[in-house]
């Protein structure tokens, strides 16, 4: 046995994503986002601008304050399904909670300086881009597609999971496609992006789950846990 410490740690972290259940759950969250936008837009269209403001405030509340609860709820739901589907087949793993950011005064000042400097650089970069790129390329669906794509690519690199690179490319393509085929400055285009990506994620997760179940049948009774005290 020749253990590669980094690869073994990476494989252990990757296990959470191997059965595709996380992608299916993320796809569900995206479709929920689409529903919220569509319902809010419908309410705004019927009740007028003041109501639209209230709806927008509600949306902001839901996406910021509610995000933590949603993330916790989704994680619990995924864990419950894994408890029935994944853990009996390939084993149980509990992951460590992410470390809290240390709040030293020097660290907070450093973070503030970095945030201001980063914002100036991004704003300057966007200003340059705005003069050089066509309008649709700076629209909401394209930004969403590229940002979510970058996140997926980063996750794929960290976990060594190739299908996340494909999903990253698809996210950028879906964003560009939605921007070119709808009015990219209408909020509804964001709903179309979320809906399309939701379907892509559920499809990708479904395929991963199918492969996982084929490759990992349930062990026979008594074979799952064979620890013997020595």
Partner 1 sequence: MAGEDIRNMLDVDRLVHEPARLAIMTILYTVEAADFLFLKRQTGLTKGNLSSHLSRLEGAGYVAIEKTFEGKIPRTICRLTDAGRKAFEDYRDWLKNAIKSTESKQK
Give the residue with the Cβ less far from partner 1, 6 or 49. Answer: 6
Give the residue with the Cβ less far from partner 1, 91 or 125. Answer: 91
Give the residue with the Cβ less far from partner 1, 50 or 229. Answer: 229
Q: How far apart are CA 144 and CA 75, in angstroms?
A: 23
Q: How far apart are CA 178 and CA 190, in angstroms?
A: 8
Give me the least distance between CB of 87 and partner 1, in Å please.
7
Give me the least distance between CB of 130 and partner 1, in Å please.
43
Please report, as ranges, the residues that interact with partner 1 according to CB under 8 A: 1-3, 5, 8-9, 11-13, 15, 83, 87-88, 90-97, 219, 224-230
Q: Which of 177, 192, 180 is nearest to 135 (CA)?
A: 180
Give the residue with the Cβ less far from partner 1, 159 or 166. Answer: 159
Give me the least distance between CB of 209 and partner 1, in Å please.
18
What is the three-class DSSP state of 3? coil
Give me the least distance between CB of 13 and partner 1, in Å please.
6
Q: Are 26 and 179 in contact (CB under 8 A)?
A: no
Q: What 3 state SS string does 172-210 have?
A: HHHHHHHHHHCCCCCHHHHHHHHHHHHHHHHHHHHHHHH
């Amino acid at each position: 046995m020749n253990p590669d410490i980094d690869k073994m740690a990476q494989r252990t972290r990757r296990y959470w994503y191997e059965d595709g259940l996380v992608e299916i759950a993320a796809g569900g969250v995206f479709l929920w986002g689409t529903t919220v936008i569509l319902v809010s837009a419908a309410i705004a269209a019927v009740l007028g601008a003041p109501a639209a403001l209230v709806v927008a405030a509600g949306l902001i509340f839901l996406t910021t304050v509610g995000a933590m609860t949603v993330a916790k709820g989704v994680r619990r739901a995924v864990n419950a399904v894994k408890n029935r589907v994944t853990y009996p087949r390939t084993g149980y793993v509990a992951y460590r909670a992410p470390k809290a950011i240390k709040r030293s005064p020097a660290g907070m000042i450093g973070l503030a300086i970095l945030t201001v400097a980063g914002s100036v650089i991004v704003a300057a970069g966007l200003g340059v881009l705005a003069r050089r790129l066509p309008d649709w390329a700076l629209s909401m669906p394209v930004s969403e597609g590229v940002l979510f794509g970058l996140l997926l690519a980063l996750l794929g690199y960290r976990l060594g999971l190739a299908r996340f690179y494909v999903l990253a490319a698809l996210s950028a393509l879906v964003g560009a496609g939605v921007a070119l085929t709808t009015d990219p400055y209408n909020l509804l285009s964001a709903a179309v992006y979320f809906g399309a990506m939701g379907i892509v994620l559920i499809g990708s997760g479904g395929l991963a789950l199918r492969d996982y179940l084929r490759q990992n049948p349930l062990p026979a009774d008594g074979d799952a846990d064979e620890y013997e005290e020595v």
